[in-house]
Amino acid sequence: MIDLTGRDFLSSLDFTPEEVRGLLAFARDIKSGRVRPNLAGKVASLLFFNPSVRTRVSCESAMARFGGAGITLNPGKDTWNFECGEGVVMDQNTQEHVRELAPVLSRMGHLVGIRKSELITVGLDKAAVSSSYAELAKDEFLHRFAEFAEVPVINLESNRWHPLQGLADALTLQEKLGEPRGKKYVLTWTWHPKSLPVATPHSQLLAACDLGMDVTLLHPQGWGLEPEVVRRARARAESQGGRLSETHDSDAALKGAVVVCAKEWGSLDYYGRFEEEQRAKEPLRARWMVDATKMHSTDDALFLHCLPVRRNVVVSDAVLNSTRSAVIDEAENRLWTAAAVFGALAGG
Amino acid sequence: MIDLTGRDFLSSLDFTPEEVRGLLAFARDIKSGRVRPNLAGKVASLLFFNPSVRTRVSCESAMARFGGAGITLNPGKDTWNFECGEGVVMDQNTQEHVRELAPVLSRMGHLVGIRKSELITVGLDKAAVSSSYAELAKDEFLHRFAEFAEVPVINLESNRWHPLQGLADALTLQEKLGEPRGKKYVLTWTWHPKSLPVATPHSQLLAACDLGMDVTLLHPQGWGLEPEVVRRARARAESQGGRLSETHDSDAALKGAVVVCAKEWGSLDYYGRFEEEQRAKEPLRARWMVDATKMHSTDDALFLHCLPVRRNVVVSDAVLNSTRSAVIDEAENRLWTAAAVFGALAGG
Amino acid sequence: MIDLTGRDFLSSLDFTPEEVRGLLAFARDIKSGRVRPNLAGKVASLLFFNPSVRTRVSCESAMARFGGAGITLNPGKDTWNFECGEGVVMDQNTQEHVRELAPVLSRMGHLVGIRKSELITVGLDKAAVSSSYAELAKDEFLHRFAEFAEVPVINLESNRWHPLQGLADALTLQEKLGEPRGKKYVLTWTWHPKSLPVATPHSQLLAACDLGMDVTLLHPQGWGLEPEVVRRARARAESQGGRLSETHDSDAALKGAVVVCAKEWGSLDYYGRFEEEQRAKEPLRARWMVDATKMHSTDDALFLHCLPVRRNVVVSDAVLNSTRSAVIDEAENRLWTAAAVFGALAGG
């Protein structure tokens, strides 16, 4: 059984591809009932700065099924606001410093999970970006918290990464494909009325690369992912006997694909200029939804999406309702991979 | 022990009167400590679209006492909005379809509870009806969710039914009356500043009918319950050797009653026309509160109310504080009946 | 093992100093792993009328670690509003009376915790006092709830007391000082942009007095604590071989101190006149922050603060980051003392 006791899980880059595979094996064993993660009497404090269904329920359920408990906090709603700057005179709107919050939550439980994502759009027509992407991608609160925490910290989605989603995708790929190595995987951008964060596609891309797949990142010009993330994902793919290419050509990308993972995300070029982006991407809407025609040009590909998904906007009913859609299994795997991560980090 | 493994509980009509009695017997056994429902390591996801004290605490406590856990979600507050229409192009304000939500929550846990009631009034002076009663009574979200769920779905209060309240009332009637069959039970309308939903009185009426009681539904002209519900409750009463009559005559109704269950609800005739209803019911206020005088005209009747109750509006202090009030026992029975339902549906 | 089965814990004054010491011994034994409080299958309903991090997480974690569960309710947010007046005609904005709420929550679980504090200021520039301090200090809801409850009620912070904080401070004092009796403890007022409640310093003061320490209460003229609380704390101190003196002279107070506990609180004289108080206390800001210079004039004193704390406003970074700061241990002790209280009150 994999032992990652005391380690943080802020991104899959925190682990070697071998450690990632170890976590996946542990998740499979938990799912099959062969082993139980040792979570009895253990507590995970879960800080949700953003709303959540799958992450919250999968994390709380993972703890509860094995005798532990998740305690969900909604900072700024049922608590106050947190400071992470150094040397700040805190006479304004922050009431607690991460230098206290992190060790205190560490003493109360055995694990801490944090979801903190500066959403790009609020509702359908408003941008809410407080800073540049380069600045936000530092995930300062998360890293500062981890620095001062005394127990493992798990990223439940930051501005840059959503590693639990990556793990769940990887588990699904293993289950459905047997050995994913060398098989063709496409991560395709899709149109969406809002400009969604890039954390999830970053972690999804990395997951397929960690499995040594033949990965294609497909998106319109101007909607690429963070170059440094792509560079590191490519290096991981190559280290595992796979590769990563990037294209705007949908036909070339889909041909021969055995997996199509759809994801909507906002442009980093237009970051914070939501109305401009909206106008620029309007012509893309019709061509970038995943529909049956697109799926027919693949090699009978499996369809993945992290959910929630806007039906007939991101992907058509026909694709989602087909037997090739694995989105429900993929979501279920959030539970088993969370249980594996919690168990491995909390010591068994 | 009753086995209803895998069944839904959207209304007591989902079960035969014999199955209802089986659930009540299971609840009594749990309450007395003779048996424990097998909920260890089991998880119930509880979706509360509306506020709750008794339902939430009773459900979470029922799970926790027997080794399981309830996970409460407040959709639209700490999550997003859900779609249940078929073929909808989801480019507006719903972010997740029940076709995904239901199977995903099914995979995360063992049971799903849903409270979704389109409240008629918000605060003391505003109507908030989005549709006709006939439309809302379809409880579309609940039924669509149950259709796509892979685990038992429990109705925690919809527009039409509140079956857990019905069960708790039935258990209280059995405890207090021994064999309730043939005994006189009155469900009386009471005045209230707001127009409350009919789900609770529907389920309370059905509960007394399922026990074969001599049931009287008492209300002012224009404040009847849904005719189809009354018809079905009557048929169930008659099948159990009881009967159901309806009257506007308080004196005749209360004479000989051994149970008075008070409930405030809005008129279906005035549905959505709150200000009109408020004017029409103003003259009823003085005559329709349950007070000591009314209770004296019964056969030393037991007093029931589902709570919360507005004191000296719906029922006087004297009645609530008397030894004939069973409202606290009735509320406690929410816990034991919830434990019985969860245990029976989750497989023991 | 101490047995306080069925008792309430609304203030440490509910217990004798010997009982307080018994609770602290129980907390130490739980912390060291020598004993486990018997909380398996037990449920605590936790009503938070105000936001919380430490109290909520420590209470939920204390229950969960030992096989029980805490159910957090946020009244007025995910529930309705409660009435506690006698004989009230409830046709306005309260929907449930404490005469029902208290016994009902008693039936659902084994313990009830309540945080209800009428905050003096909302945000940085608004007073939100609904009544005089004399009126609010009666903690009417809490006491009425305890009157009608059938299980132990625990004060999670009221207008007058925060006894779990007091216990955690006392445990920390014992751990750090060995035998605290006779040693010099200073509770010092500090400047803060808001006018914070006095409940916490009341309970901190009482905690040091209960341990028989040589207690000094230090604050500017006009910012004293409630005289009756000070009188009772002094009597407890003297009964334990300690004493309590009050001063405005910082130099005299700090000299020889082995503990400095910092706390910001609002003036009872200015109660509800926030803007006036703000002007009056502006000149105090510079002189009343705890910094390294102040700490140097003590006898290498330990630094305590209940957290959250505004850095460089209430206390400087240098003090908080020093090895003499015990604020993290103090916060951790919230967990162990909560476990001790829950265990002792719920019967072992």
Nearest CB to B43; choose among A64, A317, A331: A64
How far is C-alpha A286 from the geometric centre of its chain's CA atoms? 26
Q: Which of B115, B132, B161 is the last residue of a domain?
A: B161
Interface test with chain A among C38, C57, C309, C322, by most A beta carbons within 10 Å:
C57
- Assess if residue A7 is contained within a domain: no
CB contact under 8 A, B332 and C41: no
CB contact under 8 A, A43 and C61: yes
- The type of residue at B152 is P
- Do C81 and C42 lie in one domain? The reply is yes
**B-chain residue closest to A60, CA distance:** B71
Each residue of A292-301: pLDDT tens digit? 999 999 999 9
- pLDDT at C293 exceeding the cut of 80: yes
| Interatomic CA distance for residues C20 and A120, integer angstroms | 52
- Do A140 and A66 lie in one domain? The reply is yes
Min Cα–Cα distance to chain A from B76, Å:
9
* Neighbouring subunits of C (3+ Cβ pairs under 8 A): A, B
How far is C-alpha C174 from the geometric centre of its chain's CA atoms? 17
H or E element at residue B334: helix B327-345
- Do B111 and B34 lie in one domain? The reply is yes
What is the extent of the structural domain holding B109? Answer: 12-161
CB contact under 8 A, A307 and B100: yes
The answer to whether B165 touches B327, Cβ cutoff 8 Å, is no
- Assess if residue A226 is contained within a domain: yes
Nearest CB to B88; choose among A56, A64, A312: A312
User: Residue A287 in 3-state DSSP?
Assistant: helix
- Do B145 and B215 lie in one domain? The reply is no
Please, what is the Cα angle at A308 between A305 and A314, to 5 degrees? 60
Identify all chain A residues contacting C51, using CB atoms and an 8 Å cutoff: 78-80
Min Cα–Cα distance to chain A from B4, Å:
22
| Interatomic CA distance for residues C285 and C306, integer angstroms | 20
Task: List, in sequence order, every residue forming a beta bridge with C245; answer none if it has no partner.
Answer: C216
- Do A312 and A259 lie in one domain? The reply is yes
- Do A47 and A185 lie in one domain? The reply is no
CB contact under 8 A, A57 and B80: no
Identify all chain B residues contacting A73, using CB atoms and an 8 Å cutoff: none
How far is C-alpha C261 from the geometric centre of its chain's CA atoms? 13
CB contact under 8 A, B309 and C96: yes
Identify all chain B residues contacting C71, using CB atoms and an 8 Å cutoff: 56-57, 60-61, 64
Nearest CB to B309; choose among C42, C69, C100: C100
| Predicted local confidence at residue A98, as pLDDT | 96
Mean of all residue pLDDT scores within chain A: 94
Q: Which two tokens stand for residue C93?
A: 């904005």
- Assess if residue B3 is contained within a domain: no
| Interatomic CA distance for residues B35 and B295, integer angstroms | 37
Identify all chain B residues contacting A48, using CB atoms and an 8 Å cutoff: 78
How far is C-alpha C83 from the geometric centre of its chain's CA atoms? 25
Interface test with chain C among A77, A78, A86, A110, by most C beta carbons within 10 Å:
A78
- Do C122 and C264 lie in one domain? The reply is no
Task: List, in sequence order, every residue forming a beta bridge with A330; answer none if it has no partner.
Answer: none
Packed helices A54-65 and B98-108: angle between N→C axes, nearest 10 degrees: 20
Band of pLDDT at residue C273, cut at 50, 70 and 90: confident
| Predicted local confidence at residue C131, as pLDDT | 83
- Residues of chain B whose beta carbon is less than 8 angstroms from a beta carbon of chain A are 41-43, 45, 68-69, 71, 73, 78-80, 83, 87-93, 95-97, 99-101, 103-105, 107-109
Q: Which two tokens stand for residue B235?
A: 């048929």
- Do A173 and A303 lie in one domain? The reply is yes
Each residue of A178-228: pLDDT tens digit? 999 999 999 999 999 989 999 999 999 999 999 999 999 999 999 999 999
Each residue of B87-133: pLDDT tens digit? 999 998 888 999 999 999 999 999 999 999 987 666 666 666 678 89
Nearest to B341 by CA among B53, B50, B66: B66
- Do B318 and B174 lie in one domain? The reply is yes
- pLDDT at B4 exceeding the cut of 70: yes
CB contact under 8 A, B53 and C103: no
Higher pLDDT, C256 or C131: C256
Min Cα–Cα distance to chain C from B237, Å:
30
| Interatomic CA distance for residues A203 and A161, integer angstroms | 6
- Assess if residue C276 is contained within a domain: yes
Mean pLDDT of B279-288: 94
3-state helix/strand/coil string of A27-55: HHHHHHCCCCCCCCCCEEEEEECCCCCHH
B325: DSSP letter: B
| Predicted local confidence at residue C60, as pLDDT | 98
The answer to whether A290 touches A319, Cβ cutoff 8 Å, is yes
Q: How far is CA A27 from CA A1, A206, A302, in A?
A: 10, 18, 21
Identify all chain C residues contacting B57, using CB atoms and an 8 Å cutoff: 45, 71, 73, 105, 108-109
Nearest to B308 by CA among A170, C93, C36: C93
| Interatomic CA distance for residues C38 and C54, integer angstroms | 22
Mean pLDDT of B57-61: 98
- Do C211 and C323 lie in one domain? The reply is yes
Nearest CB to A52; choose among B79, B87, B90: B79
Mean pLDDT of A109-124: 84
Min Cα–Cα distance to chain A from C88, Å:
31
Q: Which two tokens stand for residue A161?
A: 């990464």
Concatenated DSSP letters of A188-242: EEE--SS---SHHHHHHHHHHHHTT-EEEEE--TT----HHHHHHHHHHHHHTT-
Residue at token pair 């200073």: C186
Identify all chain A residues contacting C307, using CB atoms and an 8 Å cutoff: 96, 100, 104
Task: List, in sequence order, every residue forming a beta bridge with A302; answer none if it has no partner.
Answer: A259
Nearest to C43 by CA among A109, A79, B62: B62
- Assess if residue A91 is contained within a domain: yes
- Do C96 and C17 lie in one domain? The reply is yes
Min Cα–Cα distance to chain B from A168, Å:
13
| Interatomic CA distance for residues B258 and B295, integer angstroms | 10
Pick from B115-129, B276-290, C15-29, C293-307: least confident: B115-129
pTM of the model: 0.96
- pLDDT at C114 exceeding the cut of 70: yes
Mean pLDDT of C180-190: 98
Each residue of B318-330: pLDDT tens digit? 999 999 999 999 9
* Neighbouring subunits of A (3+ Cβ pairs under 8 A): B, C
**B-chain residue closest to C82, CA distance:** B308
Band of pLDDT at residue A348, cut at 50, 70 and 90: low
| Predicted local confidence at residue A105, as pLDDT | 97
Identify all chain C residues contacting B48, using CB atoms and an 8 Å cutoff: 78
- pLDDT at C348 exceeding the cut of 80: no
3-state helix/strand/coil string of chain C: CCCCCCCCECCHHHCCHHHHHHHHHHHHHHHCCCCCCCCCCCEEEEEECCCCCHHHHHHHHHHHHCCCEEEEECCCCCCCCEECCCCCCCCCCCCEEHHHHHHHHHHHCCEEEEECCCCCEECCCEECCCCCHHHHCCCHHHHHHHHHCCCCEEECCCCCCCHHHHHHHHHHHHHHHCCCCCCEEEEEEECCCCCCCCHHHHHHHHHHHHCCCEEEEECCCCCCCCHHHHHHHHHHHHHCCCEEEEECCHHHHHCCCCEEEEEECCCCCCCCCHHHHHHHHHHHHHHHCECHHHHHCCCCCEEECCCCCCECCCECHHHHCCCCECHHHHHHHHHHHHHHHHHHHCCC
CB contact under 8 A, C41 and B317: no
- Assess if residue C145 is contained within a domain: yes
CATH of residue C47's domain is 3.40.50.1370
| Interatomic CA distance for residues C144 and A188, integer angstroms | 61
Interface test with chain B among C46, C63, C74, C78, by most B beta carbons within 10 Å:
C78
Band of pLDDT at residue B3, cut at 50, 70 and 90: confident
Burial pattern A27-51, b for ≥16 Cβ within 10 A else e, equals bbbbbeeeebbbbeebbbbbbbbeb
Min Cα–Cα distance to chain A from B102, Å:
10
Query: A87: which residues sit within 8 A by CB, 6+ positions away?
Result: C312, C317
Each residue of B173-218: pLDDT tens digit? 999 999 999 999 999 999 999 899 999 999 999 999 999 999 999 9
Nearest to A56 by CA among B104, C122, B258, C321: B104
Determine if residue B80 is left, alpha or beta; phi over 0 gives left, psi from -120 to 50 gives alpha, anything else beta: beta
Identify all chain C residues contacting B51, using CB atoms and an 8 Å cutoff: 78-80
Q: How far is CA C262 from CA C58, C80, C120, C225, in A?
A: 21, 36, 19, 14
The answer to whether B114 touches B159, Cβ cutoff 8 Å, is no
- The type of residue at A150 is E
| Interatomic CA distance for residues C228 and C226, integer angstroms | 6
**A-chain residue closest to B101, CA distance:** A308
Interface test with chain C among B57, B72, B73, B77, by most C beta carbons within 10 Å:
B57
CB contact under 8 A, B331 and C43: no
- pLDDT at B78 exceeding the cut of 60: no
Residue at token pair 């070697």: A16
CB contact under 8 A, A311 and B41: no
User: Residue A12 in 3-state DSSP?
Assistant: helix
- Residues of chain C whose beta carbon is less than 8 angstroms from a beta carbon of chain B are 41-43, 45, 68-69, 71, 73, 78-80, 83, 87-93, 95-97, 99-101, 103-105, 107-109
Nearest to C195 by CA among C253, C136, C280: C280
Report the DSSP pairing between strands B121-122 and B126-127.
antiparallel
CB contact under 8 A, A65 and B79: no
Each residue of B290-314: pLDDT tens digit? 999 999 999 999 999 999 999 999 9
Q: Which two tokens stand for residue A98?
A: 């991460």
Residue at token pair 């694990």: A111
| Interatomic CA distance for residues B301 and B311, integer angstroms | 19
- Assess if residue C225 is contained within a domain: yes
Identify all chain A residues contacting B88, using CB atoms and an 8 Å cutoff: 311-312
| Predicted local confidence at residue B131, as pLDDT | 83
Q: Which two tokens stand for residue C257?
A: 């101190």
- Assess if residue A4 is contained within a domain: no
Report the DSSP pairing between strands B96-97 and B82-83.
parallel
Nearest CB to C88; choose among B51, B65, B311: B311
- Do C256 and C340 lie in one domain? The reply is no
CB contact under 8 A, B308 and C41: no
Where do the DSSP E strands lie in chain B?
A: 43-48, 69-73, 82-83, 96-97, 111-115, 121-122, 126-127, 153-155, 184-190, 214-218, 243-247, 259-264, 302-304
- The type of residue at C223 is W
**A-chain residue closest to C334, CA distance:** A108
- pLDDT at A77 exceeding the cut of 90: no
Q: How many domains does chain B have?
A: 2
Mean pLDDT of A89-117: 95
Burial pattern B220-234, b for ≥16 Cβ within 10 A else e, equals beebbbbeebbebbb
The answer to whether B143 touches B114, Cβ cutoff 8 Å, is no
Identify all chain B residues contacting C95, using CB atoms and an 8 Å cutoff: 308, 310
